[in-house]
């Protein structure tokens, strides 16, 4: 698979190869592996239909939103917003448990994905808006720990989040050092007071 990537300078392989391999896996009934290859095939429509089938055959009713969220976030982390939008739209439109394409959705995670896709398409993207959206939907995002790594990549690739994360790390380190210094001062004062009492 990787050798095909040399044709299009892609380290993961040519999208057409991923699509063809995904179709073979689909016909053989290996939906999980087919999902991974459809996600890299830049074919959001096929990916959306496959996710519907996986959701129907392998998922629980309460997990309808998790299937599409994982792949859409993965596609955005690979900087494929058009594919991610196609996957999301196809999944929401044709999944019998959702059957609509615009919010408000009954499931908060779908609302998050809708708004995230809107943010990514904007020209004047702001990290603060992305961060506020993630904070607003944090309870839904906490349902799957793998979302965090995708959101970090999305923040860096679309919203220049690395600049803000670096600033937050520096501030956090300063704040932590301040509290350590305060603790040391309190300990020093405490021993001298206790020393006088003895």
Regions of the chain with pLDDT less than 50: 164, 166-171, 191-198
* pLDDT value at residue 52: 96
> What was the pLDDT predicted at 167?
45
> How many residues comprise the chain?
198
C-alpha 14/C-alpha 163 separation (Å) is: 32
Among the listed residues 49, 87, 73, 86, the one whose alpha carbon sits nearest the alpha carbon of residue 140: 73
Helix (H, G, I), strand (E, B) or coil at 30: coil
pLDDT of residue 8: 58
Identify the pLDDT of residue 198: 44
Of 12, 20, 65, nearest to 40 by C-alpha is 12
Locus of tokens 């459809």: 38
Q: How many domains does the chain have?
A: 1
Q: Is 29 helix (H, G, I), strand (E, B) or coil?
A: coil
Inside any domain, residue 106 = yes
Closest CA relative to residue 13, chosen from 22, 24, 1: 1
What's the confidence (pLDDT) of residue 193?
45
Q: Let me know if residue 55 belongs to a domain.
A: no
pLDDT score at 149: 94
Contacts for 144 with CB less than 8 Å, ≥ 6 apart: 66, 69, 70
For residues 186 and 74, give the distance between their C-alpha atoms in angstroms, rounded to a whole number: 48
The pLDDT of residue 13 is 78
Residue 5 lies in a domain: no
Classify residue 34: in a domain, yes or no: no
Give the pLDDT of residue 36.
84
Residue 7 in any domain: the answer is: no
Establish if 149 belongs to a structural domain: yes
Q: What pTM does this model have?
A: 0.76
Q: Give the residue numbers spanning the domain of 116.
A: 65-182
Q: Residue 85 domain-assigned? A: yes
User: Other CB atoms closer than 10 Å to residue 97's CB: what's the count?
Assistant: 14
Q: Is 130 domain-assigned?
A: yes
The answer to whether residues 129 and 119 touch, using CB atoms and an 8 Å cutoff, is yes
């Amino acid at each position: 698979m990787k050798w095909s990537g040399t044709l299009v300078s892609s380290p993961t392989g040519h999208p057409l190869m991923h699509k063809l391999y995904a179709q073979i896996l689909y016909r053989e009934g290996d939906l999980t592996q087919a999902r991974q290859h459809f996600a890299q095939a830049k074919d959001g429509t096929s990916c959306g239909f496959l996710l519907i089938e996986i959701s129907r055959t392998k998922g629980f009713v309460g997990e309808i939103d998790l299937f599409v969220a994982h792949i859409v976030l993965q596609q955005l982390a690979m900087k494929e917003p058009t594919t991610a939008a196609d996957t999301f739209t196809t999944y929401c439109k044709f999944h019998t448990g959702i059957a609509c394409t615009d919010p408000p959705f009954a499931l908060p995670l779908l609302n998050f994905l809708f708004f995230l896709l809107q943010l990514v398409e904007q020209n004047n993207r702001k990290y603060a808006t992305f961060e506020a959206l993630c904070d607003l939907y944090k309870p839904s995002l906490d349902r799957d720990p793998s979302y965090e790594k995708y959101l970090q990549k999305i923040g860096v690739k679309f919203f220049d989040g690395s600049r803000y994360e670096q600033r937050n790390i520096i501030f956090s380190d300063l704040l932590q050092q301040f509290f350590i210094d305060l603790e040391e001062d309190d300990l020093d004062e405490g021993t001298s007071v206790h020393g006088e009492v003895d």
